[in-house]
């Protein structure tokens, strides 16, 4: 997932692809979580699940999967979606009544593990072939805190009709920054902007990665945000914004890059696999081409994202929640989720089948070889939140000053 810490490699048999994902595991927290359960309730139970979904398609797929498990197990699942997952999780933990099972981002795992909020149930997942690096992402002090749900990479998603209309061919697919600048400029005309992205590190960070930059050192102990490499990447993003060939989603009246593409306001966007679900729902006839992001001065680079299934330490339904996680890990369920909203499976067996059956998503799959992900160090999410607010004014801002502030905030987070 990221080279922020160590890297693991999975060879996808039958596909011939190596998926290199690195993770920030082994943190050194004094955690009170363990594999011991709270006193369970007898008989059928109702699990409360909290998810942060990007669209109704994903929410519908999650509900369908949990309904299948409920019909098989005799239990029930109440699924609630929120746009403010970290805040809602923190509120539940603080109030002593968290959801039983929930989506959990890497940046939150360290924080909630340190606070004793998570039930570390990884030792109960024997026989499930989770991709090793994804397991590493959610492993702290030698314990797998939660099961990897799925993962995604960022790629360049192109509206093929607009591409052809601009007189571009496959030979013009950007291979480097110069190619991206040329294509984005050619595609910018009238109400259409060549490239539209979200105003956040989770998108402009691709430029930083392509320049050889990272947020933290390989051992995740030192902040490296103010490096020359990150400055080069952020400056390239600013260059595109200044010349108008790239805009931020809100500048074209869109909530995210995928919406800009769907509305015809963008010819290209930098997005993850989840855009497939939105396209199938809101633009089923749109022809898109997914390609790897162009290389920068230091080669190819993209960002990767994953979530896990967290289970609350205070839940009285832990056994049922673990059983649900095992059900959702089955190849059939993983592939149905992938088909519904575009994520890639978190197990080796399902990933092999996915790679073989989705040649149009080769751009997403290939990105796993050099992707960088999010660190799990407590407090880093706050530092990124502050940085993201500044990215909104990147076109007129000072990239060096922005990175200096991010460096300071990351150093503070590392100090606890």
Q: What is the DSSP string of 194-263?
A: EEEE-SSHHHHHHHHHHTT--SB-TTS-SB-TTSHHHHHHHHHHHHHHHTTSEEEGGGGT-SSHHHHHHT
What is the Cα–Cα distance from 261 to 20, expressed in whole angstroms? 29
Establish if 201 belongs to a structural domain: yes
pLDDT at 341: 84
193 with 293, same domain? yes
272 with 168, same domain? yes
What is the Cα–Cα distance from 123 to 110, expressed in whole angstroms? 18
Establish if 219 belongs to a structural domain: yes
Establish if 44 belongs to a structural domain: yes
pLDDT at 354: 94
31 with 97, same domain? yes
Count up the domains in the chain and report the number: 2
Mind listing the pLDDT tens digit of every residue in the chain (416 residues)? 332 222 223 323 333 333 334 333 333 444 444 444 455 555 699 999 999 986 788 899 999 999 999 999 999 999 999 989 989 999 999 999 999 999 998 888 988 998 999 999 999 999 999 998 889 889 988 899 999 999 999 999 999 999 999 999 999 999 999 999 999 999 999 999 999 999 999 999 999 999 999 999 988 889 999 999 999 999 999 999 999 999 999 999 999 999 999 999 999 999 998 898 889 889 999 999 999 999 999 999 999 899 999 999 999 999 999 999 999 999 999 999 998 888 999 999 999 999 999 999 999 988 888 888 778 788 888 899 999 999 999 999 999 999 999 999 999 999 97
275 with 158, same domain? yes
328 with 393, same domain? no
Closest CA to 287 of 132, 175, 141, 165: 165
Half-sphere exposure of 354 (CA within 13 A, CB side): 32
* 64 Cβ neighbours under 8 A, 6+ residues apart: 336, 340
Q: Cβ distance 53 to 62 under 8 Å?
A: yes
The residue count of the chain comes to 416
Give the three-state DSSP class for 157.
Answer: strand
194 with 230, same domain? yes
Establish if 29 belongs to a structural domain: yes
295 with 238, same domain? yes
Which range marks the domain in which residue 344 is found? Answer: 6-152+304-370
298 with 350, same domain? no
Q: Token digits for 164?
A: 């052809």
242 with 391, same domain? yes
111 with 177, same domain? no
pLDDT at 282: 94
Establish if 1 belongs to a structural domain: no
232 with 117, same domain? no
* 386 Cβ neighbours under 8 A, 6+ residues apart: 405, 406, 409
pLDDT at 141: 84
247 with 386, same domain? yes
Give the dihedral sign, CA 382/384/387/392: negative
β-pairing, 266-272 with 147-159? antiparallel
Establish if 69 belongs to a structural domain: yes
CATH of the domain at 191: 3.40.190.10
Q: For the chain, how far is it from start to end, CA to CA, in angstroms?
A: 24
What is the Cα–Cα distance from 188 to 163, expressed in whole angstroms? 10
């Amino acid at each position: 997932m990221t080279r922020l810490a160590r890297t693991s490699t999975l060879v996808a048999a039958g596909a011939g692809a190596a998926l290199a994902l690195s993770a920030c595991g082994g943190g050194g927290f004094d955690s009170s979580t363990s594999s011991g359960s709270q006193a369970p309730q007898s008989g059928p139970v109702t699990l409360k699940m909290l998810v942060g979904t990007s669209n109704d398609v994903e929410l519908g797929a999650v509900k369908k999967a949990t309904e299948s498990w409920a019909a098989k197990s005799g239990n029930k699942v109440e699924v609630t979606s929120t746009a403010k997952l970290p805040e809602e999780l923190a509120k539940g933990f603080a109030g002593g009544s968290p959801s039983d099972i929930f989506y959990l981002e890497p940046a939150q795992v360290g924080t909630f593990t340190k606070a004793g909020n998570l039930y570390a149930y990884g030792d109960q997942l024997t026989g499930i072939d989770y991709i090793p690096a994804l397991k590493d992402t959610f492993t702290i002090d030698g314990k797998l805190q939660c099961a990897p749900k799925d993962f995604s990479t960022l790629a360049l998603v192109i509206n093929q009709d607009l591409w052809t209309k601009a007189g571009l061919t496959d030979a013009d697919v950007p291979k480097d920054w110069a190619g991206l600048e040329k294509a984005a400029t050619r595609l910018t005309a009238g109400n259409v902007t060549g490239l539209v992205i979200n105003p956040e590190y989770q998108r402009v960070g691709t430029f930083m990665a392509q320049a050889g930059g990272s947020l933290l050192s390989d051992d995740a102990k030192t902040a490296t945000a103010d490096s020359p490499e990150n400055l080069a990447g952020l400056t390239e993003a600013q260059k595109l914004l200044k010349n108008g060939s790239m805009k931020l989603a809100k500048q074209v009246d869109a909530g995210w890059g995928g919406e800009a593409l769907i509305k015809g306001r963008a010819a290209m966007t930098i997005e993850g696999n989840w855009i497939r679900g939105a396209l199938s729902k809101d633009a089923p006839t749109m022809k898109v081409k997914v390609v790897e992001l162009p290389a920068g001065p230091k080669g190819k680079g993209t960002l990767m994202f994953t979530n896990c299934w967290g289970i609350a330490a205070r839940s009285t339904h832990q056994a049922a929640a673990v059983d649900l996680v095992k059900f959702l890990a089955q190849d059939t369920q993983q592939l149905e989720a992938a088909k519904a909203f575009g994520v890639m499976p978190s197990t080796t067996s399902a990933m092999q089948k996915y790679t073989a059956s989705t040649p149009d998503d080769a751009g997403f799959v290939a990105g796993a070889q050099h992707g960088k992900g999010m660190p799990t160090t407590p407090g880093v999410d706050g530092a990124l939140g502050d940085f993201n607010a500044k990215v909104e004014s990147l076109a007129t801002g000072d990239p060096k000053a922005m990175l200096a502030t991010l460096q300071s905030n990351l150093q503070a987070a590392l100090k606890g």
